[in-house]
Amino acid sequence: MVKKLLVTCPPMLERIAEFRSEIKDRGFELSAPSVVQTLSEDELCDLVPFHDAWIVGDDPASRRVLAAGAQGSLKAVVKWGVGVDNVDFQACEELNLPVKNTPAMFGPEVADLAVGYLIALSRDLVRIDRNVRLGNWIKPSGMSLTQKVVGVVGFGDIGQQLAKRLDAFGLEIIAYDPFVSRQAGPSGVQRADWGDRLSELDFLVFTCALTETSRNMLNDDVLQRLKRGVRVVNVGRGGVIDEVALMSHLRSGHVASCALDVFENEPLNPNHEILKFESCILGTHNASNTEEAVRRCSYRALDILGELLAGV
C-alpha cells in the first residue's frame, strides 16, 4: 500500500524534483506544499492527518498538530536538520509517534557561513558594497583578526568545525558549552563557563541549539559585560538572543555590529528596528542551505523515515 509523505522543509522543497523518483521508489506518494519559512498550526492541522509520514522543517510540530496527525494517519515524524526546538518530543512519546532528527548534517556548511559573517563584520564589507552601489566611495577602517578573541557558544559539531576554521586566522578561541567534554575539539581552544571572560571578546558567535537554558542567554546583563565594540554573529537559533536588549546596545554603539542568520520570529518583520542599522548583516535562516548539504540531509531523512516506519 502506498504511504503518503508530507514534506514541509523549504530547502528540500526547493530541490524536490531531484527527490521525487527516490520518494516514489520508497513507496511514498508525495505532498509538497508551497512553504516560505513555515506553515501555521492551522495549516498543518489541515494537512498532517492525511499523511502517514512527515518530514518537518521549522514548522510548529506542536502537541496540537501532532495530536491531529495521530488522530488521522500519521505514523512517523522526521525533523529535517539538527535543531529540534520546534518539535514537542514529549507529545510524540505520549501519542506513540516515533520521531528523530538528522544530527551532524551541516557542521561544515554552517561553520563556513559563520566565518563569512565574521570576516564581513570585521571589514564592513556589506556596508561598503551597499554604498558603492549608491555611488558612495567609502573606505572605513576594518579590524584585523590576528590575535583577536572570539567566543563560540555551543561546541558541538558546528562549533568545533568553526573553531578549526577560525584557528587559521590566528584568533584566540574561547568555547562555551557545559554539555561537551573540555577535551573535545581542536587543540588550542580554551574553555570557559558562560559569563566568564566576556570582557575579553572581540567577537561572540552563537552556534548552539535553543533550549530552556539557552533562551535569551544573550540578554542585557551579558551585553553590558561585553567589550565595547564587540561584534555578534548568530547562526544557531534566534531565541538565544534577547532582540530588544540587542537593539538597545546597537543604538548605544556598545555592540558595533551583528550578523544574524536567525531571528525570534521568521520571516523578519519588515518594521524590525535592526533594519535601520546599516552595519548589520541579515540572513534568512539559510546557513545550512547548499546543494550538497540539502541532498545529504534529505536522503538521510528518507532513510530514517524508512527505519521508523519499519518499526510500526
Q: What is the pLDDT of residues 131-180, one digit of tens each?
A: 999 999 999 999 999 999 999 999 999 999 999 999 999 999 999 999 99
- Looking from the CA of 155 toward its CB, the CA atoms found within 13 Å total 25
Cα separation of 253 and 249, whole Å?
Answer: 6
Least confident span in 52-56, 259-263, 307-311: 307-311
Name residues whose C-beta falls within 8 Å of residue 14's C-beta, 6 or more positions apart in sequence: 294
Going from N- to C-terminal start, the domains of the chain cover 3-102+290-310, 107-282
Q: What is the pLDDT of residues 81-114, one digit of tens each?
A: 999 999 999 999 999 999 999 999 999 999 999 9
Report whether 59 contacts 12 (CB < 8 A): no
Q: Is residue 261 scored above 80 in pLDDT?
A: yes
Cα separation of 218 and 5, whole Å?
Answer: 38
- Among residues of the chain, what percentage have pLDDT more than 70? 100
- Which of 18, 200, 266, 273 is the catalytic position? 266
- Class assignment of domain 107-282? alpha beta
**H or E segment at 173?**
strand 172-176
pLDDT confidence band for 27 (50 / 70 / 90): very high
**Same CATH fold, 107-282 and 3-102+290-310?**
yes
**H or E segment at 221?**
helix 220-225
pLDDT of residue 276: 97
pLDDT of residue 285: 95
pLDDT of residue 45: 98
Residue 285 catalytic? yes
**255-260/281-282 β-pairing:** parallel
- Which of 127, 231, 249, 285 is the catalytic position? 285
- Class assignment of domain 3-102+290-310? alpha beta
Q: What is the pLDDT of residues 172-218, one digit of tens each?
A: 999 999 999 988 888 899 999 999 999 999 999 999 999 999 999 99
Chain position carrying cell 557561513: 113
Residue 254 catalytic? no
3-state secondary structure of 148: coil
pLDDT confidence band for 278 (50 / 70 / 90): very high
Enter the pTM of the model.
0.94
Report whether 59 contacts 8 (CB < 8 A): yes
Task: For CA atoms 259, 162, 289, 143, give the dihedral sign.
Answer: positive
- Which of 127, 231, 237, 249 is the catalytic position? 237
pLDDT of residue 311: 74
Q: What is the pLDDT of residues 40-78, one digit of tens each?
A: 999 999 999 999 999 999 999 999 999 999 999 999 999
**H or E segment at 152?**
strand 149-153
Residue 266 catalytic? yes
Q: Is residue 312 scored above 80 in pLDDT?
A: no
